[in-house]
Amino acid sequence: MNDTQKTISLVQELNEHRHAYYNLSAPTITDKEYDKLFDELQRLESETGLILSNSPTQTVGYYPVSSLPKVQHPIPLLSLEKTKQVSELAALLARSQALLMLKLDGLTTKLVYEDGKLMQASTRGDGETGEEITHNLPSYQNVPLSIPYKKRLVITGESFIHTHDFERLKEILLDSNGKKFHNARNLVSGTVRNLNPKTCAERCVHFSPFNVLEGFEESPYSDSRQIRLSLLKDLGFDTCPYVAVEGPAPSEEMVASCIDSLVAEAAKRNLPIDGIVAIFDSFRYSKSCGKTGHHYKDGLAYKFEDEQYETILREIEWTPTRSGEIAPVGIFDTVEIDGCDVSRASLHSPGFIRNLELVPGCRILVSKRNMIIPHIEENLDRGKYQDIIPPLCPCCQSATRIRKRKICYGKIIETVHCDNPACGSQVLRKFEHFASKKAMNIEGLSEATLERFLDLGYLNSFQDLYHLDQYQEKIIRMDGFGKKSYNRLWNSITQSRKTDFVHFLVAMDIPMIGRTKSRVLDAVFSGSLEDFEAAALGNYDFTVLEDFGETLNHNIHAWFSNEENLNLWTELQKELTFHSKEEHTMTREIKENPFMGRTIVATGKLAHFTRDGINTKILELGGKPGSSVTKKTDYLICGEKAGSKLKKAQELNIPILTEEQFLEMIA
């Protein structure tokens, strides 16, 4: 044992003896033996300069504060991009030597040391600004208040409560709502920000560093994260457990094995965790990876499961969509998840509401599934459910009906419907879709403006949009309007008269026909609405097209068999002009490229394209955009957060391209 290890060991041993003497009234050693150990600890602290916050030699009192001052972080304390795929961790580890580290479930904390003394402690806050919590650090269980390193040292780590301590504390402590704490993270967050450090002392808060922001620059190994962490350990810090990954690209099996060993270590040490962090060892390499406004790009946080946040459900809102389905949405007290305020989430169906026994006023757990979609996971106050499915449409007061339909694997799902085609909400949503950018692209037609025009009777059909000039004087006199506003709107309507196959087809709102499918049909029928109409009215089998299944084939034929739809299709074209076939042919001249005639699937978050944007680019190259990976797929373009499609492509040995490689190939 070196002197640092002896100091830490003596602190632990003396505290155990103190606990036995003062709390259990069962001394384990004599006073003389205790005094000898105490003197030895004092000597070591004097020689090494290491004094821990829980050392028996420290008799400093706890001093409460009246407020928590704000602290600016010169080096932003940003988070890392998240993933739930081991394959993404393996891909990152293949780039450079890295560390796999436990992701402790607590509160990120920054410590600043000057001349060997702890000068400031603060929370991460929003990454730019945190709160000062220096007053609470003497009440932590394991933070060095004094260290032998005399230069400036700035470290970040996690404040946390061990799992066994939390299990004990949650039985005797209640949160601000008088309820038991749901997780240790919430408890430690409130504890370290408490104004009275005595509260912190009673809750066994520990600190574990995971990064060095400043310090050890003089070390010959200063570029190594692993070396800097080992130097922290020599100073008496209980660093976060990690595994160094070196050598050639690790397999997913190897990465999974490392994760298992770290999880086992966490269980052994009663550490609260919610994932694993992979981060590059070299600070220089990390810096070269760059950052966004939200996260650094030098690592990944592998999440075991979606984090859940407790809040209160205030309302269940039912809104008719343009298809007539009345969609339920849960409105709840705002919670912050991954830096975003979340206050509403889809409730999907009556069955979902029934299964969770949801009623306004109940406490719920909310997550962001796959870190993207807000979702209500659990109801903490079950047993109060009453059927709250609306018998009448909340918009037009028509009677509602329950529709049952079969989805994948024979599962039956219920939805609530309004069958009134004149329902104001349905009509409004249809006009919104028609005027949207992906359809007729009429700027200036907001939901509020459309609603006013509908209420005034100016609009009964889509064709009426192109005759709003007959109400020019009345519109100009409307609140919020004027001559300039009207002229801007009318110019936008006029410009939308010249359109193309894709925008017109999207505007028709045939079920499951969006921009990608419209572009495929545009290519197949060479921009001819007449040819497409003939195919839809005839026996054309659309399933022969890439990613066109039986349901979509049925939707197209069924839509055109409806007389009202066919009349809209025909009459609306009289209001518009379309690119000629010559113009269409000119715009579709394609240069020879590696993707011509190939089926290409894109997955993950791309830096230069939206999902529609990448599909458009594929079509411009003469390729075929696919939605799923099959044996017919020729390439997979892979962005951040790639999921099951990446794994499928690897299994099928399909060429995988990064976004940068794709751009280089088409340059």
Q: How far apart are CA 79 and CA 92, in angstroms?
A: 16
Report whether pLDDT(264) > 60: yes
Name the more confident of 63 and 419: 419
Angle, in degrees to the nearest 10, between helices 447-455 and 424-435: 130
10 Å Cβ neighbour count for 489?
18
Q: Which of these ranges, 209-223, 236-250, 420-434, 607-621, has the smallest mean pLDDT?
A: 607-621
Contact 414, 349 (CB under 8 A): yes
Q: How far apart are CA 458 and CA 120, in angstroms?
A: 65
How do residues 62-104 score in pLDDT, each as one tens digit? 677 888 999 999 998 888 888 878 888 888 898 899 999 999 9
10 Å Cβ neighbour count for 266?
19
Beta strand 498-499 with 273-280 is: unpaired
For 132-154, what is the mean pLDDT? 92
Contact 393, 422 (CB under 8 A): no
Q: Give the tokens for residue 607.
A: 């830096």
Q: How far apart are CA 528 and CA 500, in angstroms?
A: 10
How do residues 568-585 score in pLDDT, each as one tens digit? 999 999 999 997 654 544
CA-closest candidate to residue 94, choices 293, 329, 238, 278:
278
Report whether pLDDT(298) > 80: yes
Report whether pLDDT(188) > 80: yes
Q: How far apart are CA 139 and CA 200, in angstroms?
A: 6
For 284-294, what is the mean pLDDT? 82
Kindly indicate the confidence band of residue 587, based on its pLDDT and cuts at 50, 70 and 90: very low
Question: What is the chain's mean pLDDT, rounded?
Answer: 87
10 Å Cβ neighbour count for 562?
11
For 542-552, what is the mean pLDDT? 85
Beta strand 373-379 with 400-406 is: unpaired
pLDDT at 176: 67
Neighbour-count burial for 622-640, b at 16+ CB within 10 Å, e otherwise: bbbbbeebeeebbbbbbbb
For 112-136, what is the mean pLDDT? 92
Most confident of 8-17, 217-226, 377-386: 377-386
Report whether pLDDT(262) > 90: yes
Return the active site residues: 103
Backbone Cα Rg of the chain: 32
Give the torsion sign (CA, 208, 210, 215, 218): positive
For 129-153, what is the mean pLDDT? 92
Kindly indicate the confidence band of residue 487, based on its pLDDT and cuts at 50, 70 and 90: very high
| Residue 605, C-beta contacts closer than 8 angstroms, at least 6 positions apart | 639, 640, 641
Name the more confident of 314 and 306: 314
How many angstroms separate the Cα of 152 from the Cα of each of 76, 210, 216, 228, 231?
18, 17, 9, 14, 14
Q: Which of these ranges, 14-28, 442-456, 509-523, has the smallest mean pLDDT?
A: 14-28
pLDDT at 585: 47
pLDDT at 516: 82
Kindly indicate the confidence band of residue 406, based on its pLDDT and cuts at 50, 70 and 90: low
Q: What count of residues does the chain have? A: 667
Q: Which of these ranges, 201-215, 326-340, 483-497, has the smallest mean pLDDT?
A: 326-340
How many angstroms separate the Cα of 537 from the Cα of each of 233, 514, 540, 545, 553?
75, 20, 8, 17, 12
Report whether pLDDT(627) > 50: yes
pLDDT at 609: 83
Q: How far apart are CA 586 and CA 16, in angstroms?
A: 84
Q: How far apart are CA 353 and CA 389, in angstroms?
A: 9
